[in-house]
Chains A and B, each alone.
Chain A
């Protein structure tokens, strides 16, 4: 179990004037869950569509399960699974009919397709709903069936393109459990997601993509440490108290405090966590500043994302990106970190 399940170098894809991928690199180790994060329109889906042979690349090269996606698409297809926003199950058929159909289309033959369908229904906890139309399934059940359909040949590499978008927390948990079980079974997973929490929970390695390039590649902890260490955070009751809170926080911080006028929040990086917390709490009380909340916060992937891409994950397309080239964004991010 060494080596790379997915390796892409300098991938390029143009749609008219727009460069969806602009020299995108990716290396996914075998047997891991690798997160691919990026704002909408960053190129996540294009990357997955190229790696899963749905779309031809304009430049660069990519190997999946050791095979060239451009030259051996058919062989690649026999070794991958694809689940997510763009790969669906049939809503009219029952769960079992879906899996049997896909099994036959994976060339298992009728009886083995039936057998495999039964196994997968059990594995994904769908046996009770097996003979109901998929149209009657809940969102979580449908995604699990979707996953099961991708697992018919037990693929070497599974592409999960935003597998939990639109699911309620319970459905999301169900899908997460299934993904963890698959990785235990030896499958490599490339996961794109808008939910950073999801990447944090599942992925052992993360690539951040923006404007068609990878702008960061590290473990979740590694990424977080680039943003900085712990921060102290104070939420005051009155807006008028913000300046005073900033002053107090500045005394214990080794960086410039930042404040948020609408959330009445003041926060700053700290090194000596406990001492800083006690000091700030005491001084604020002494000065009579009414405090709603006070605490220490470790950086989240949200912070990483904000620093790297210049915007939060829920920002949609273009408008926010237009300001600069990826290089500018990178430089901004570095300055912000420093």
Chain B
């Protein structure tokens, strides 16, 4: 009989401290541990589906508010329909705000001691962070799907095919990059309330972009800032890929939206992965 079986017996009858025999390599367990952390994250949504509703409430309300209330007063450069302009912006905004969810969940786990329990167990330490990231990407897919169905119900008609898939991938790519910002912030801020406060910072940052209004319609200096906002590139690129492009400004970054929608998240990832990993390692200092 292997040690693994003994360990599952009744505590009184078995020798203590017999760890399971490692039949698999480290890579196998890193993946298996990651998957088990993901399962935990998804079970949370299954047990509290209201959380998805909260996360989607803001973008859906924004679509309704901007689309119907302000929609008639909004101009789109090149004269397209404002709702066609707005929908990709909403998708980008949802992805962008995602880092707040990541940060909130991480800070919750670290202050409550769940991360410490994971770290005291013989599981792969990488799974703690990787599991969070994979969970958030899966949830992001679900969010995008729900938002797109809402948009279609409101009359949004994107091009299908590879353009659509490309846009979807770019949105997830942005979300992926911001996971690391979220993990880093989650390990940095002292409590979940502080993580919630990040919204106050994130909201203006998403407004000064091409999400709601085209930068060329803003005052000159603000338009430049908005054009160089990383999320503007993703918004412009997805508008193109969804087949609802708008006349873009003539700055270099606006002319190369597709390229920059790939580059910006890469830059963010390269900055925040090391920061997040260092912060995680600092837990054992």
Q: Please tell me which stretch of A99-107, A266-274, A298-306, A311-319 contacts chain B, meaning at least 4 of its Cβ atoms lie within 8 angstroms of it.
A: A99-107
C-beta contact mask, A151-163 vs B, less than 8 Å → 1, else 0? 1011111000000
A248 close to B (CB within 8 Å) = no
In chain A, positions 55-83 with a C-beta closer than 8 Å to chain B are: 55-56, 65, 74-75, 77-80, 82
Cα distance A104–B33 when bound, in Å? 8
CB distance from B10 to the nearest CB of A (A): 6
Size class of the A contact interface (CB-based, 8 Å)? 35 or more
Q: How far is the CB of A174 from chain B (nearest CB, A)?
A: 17
Cβ of A112: which chain B residues have Cβ within 8 Å of it?
4-5, 8
CA distance A120 to B123 in the complex (A): 20
Contact yes or no, B11 A123, CB < 8 A? yes
Tell me the complex Cα distance, A1–B48, Å.
Answer: 47
Decide if B19 touches A154 in the complex (CB within 8 Å): no
Q: Smallest CB–CB gap between B190 and chain A, Å?
A: 15
CB neighbours of A337 from chain B (8 A): none
Please give the distance in Å from B144's CB to the nearest CB on chain A.
Answer: 24
Closest residue of A by beta carbon distance from B14: A154
Per the bound structure, the CA–CA distance linking A109 and B5 in Å amounts to 11
Q: How far is the CA of A137 from the CA of B40 in the complex (A)?
A: 19
- B113 within 8 Å of A (CB atoms): yes
On whether the beta carbons of B39 and A54 are closer than 8 Å, the reply is no
A149 at the interface (CB under 8 A from B): yes
Tell me if A156 and B116 are in contact (CB < 8 A).
no
B142 to chain A, nearest CB (A): 18
Chain B hits for A106, CB < 8 A? 20, 121-123
CA distance A151 to B121 in the complex (A): 11
* B112 to chain A: closest residue by CB: A88
Taking the closest CB of chain A, its distance from the CB of B219, in whole angstroms, is 46
Docked-complex contact B118 and A93, CB < 8 angstroms:
no
Q: A77 contacts B121, CB within 8 Å? A: yes
> In chain A, what residue has the closest Cβ to B20?
A107
Q: Mark A238-265, 1 if CB is under 8 A from B, else 0.
A: 0000000000000000000000000000
Query: Which residues of A are found within 8 Å of B113, using beta-carbon distances?
Result: 85-88
Chain B residue with the shortest CB-CB distance to A5: B17
A153→B114 CA distance, assembly (Å): 18
* A56 and B285 contact, CB distance less than 8 A: yes
> Which chain B residue has the least Cβ–Cβ distance from A30?
B16
Inter-subunit contact B120/A184 (CB<8 Å): no
Given contacts A55-B285, A112-B4, contact A187 B16 (CB under 8 A): yes
Flag if B47 contacts A108 (CB, 8 Å).
no
Question: How many Å lie between the Cα of A106 and that of B47 in the bound state?
Answer: 23
Interface flag for A309 (CB, 8 Å): no
- Assess the B114–A88 pair: CB atoms within 8 A: yes
- B224 interface residue per 8 A CB criterion: no
**Distance to closest chain B CB from A138 (angstroms):** 17
What residues of B have a CB within 8 angstroms of the CB of A218 in the complex? none
A116 near B8: Cβ-Cβ < 8 Å = yes
Q: Which of chain B's residues 4-32 have a Cβ closer than 8 Å to chain A?
A: 4-5, 7-8, 10-12, 14-20, 22, 29, 32
Q: Find chain A residues with CB under 8 A from B36 CB.
A: 101, 104-105
Asked if A226 is at the interface of the complex by the 8 Å CB criterion, the answer is no
Across-interface contacts of B14 in A (CB, < 8 A): 154
The 3 closest A-B pairs by CB, nearest first: A156-B17, A78-B19, A88-B113
- Offer 7 A-B interface pairs, CB within 8 angstroms, sorted by A: A78-B122, A90-B114, A101-B36, A107-B22, A154-B17, A157-B17, A187-B16
B-side interface residues toward A, CB under 8 Å? 4-5, 7-8, 10-12, 14-20, 22, 29, 32-33, 36-37, 39-40, 43-44, 47-48, 112-114, 116-123, 127, 283-285
